[in-house]
Amino acid sequence: MEELVRCNDMVVVATVEALLAGAGIDCLVADRHMSVLEGSIGIFARRILVTSDDLARARRLLIDAGLGDELRTNER
């Protein structure tokens, strides 16, 4: 799995999930339930992961939807 987005904004997370689902791209939202530990103050970012095979298509989808600024760079 490759990290597509890392974000604290749950509206962005939900929007990205909906866009990916609409395009038939499976994703995993990691750290979704960290709010239980953090007290719902939003300090831990949620990570949206997609398969390596879907990464390029998912990135293009988010860019086309105007969410390109939310994408993780390919830094390693």
Query: What tokens appear for 20 in the block?
Result: 């990916």
What pTM was computed for the model? Answer: 0.86
The residue ranges of every structural domain in the chain are 2-69
Residues 9-49 have pLDDT tens digits of 889 999 999 999 999 999 999 988 876 666 666 678 899 99
Which CATH number is 2-69 given? 3.30.70.790
Neighbours of 61 (CB within 10 A): 18
In the chain, how many H helices and how many E strands? 3, 3
> Which residue type does 37 have?
L
Answer whether residue 74 shows pLDDT above 50: yes
Confidence of residue 73 (pLDDT cuts 50, 70, 90): confident
Q: What's the pLDDT at 76?
A: 39
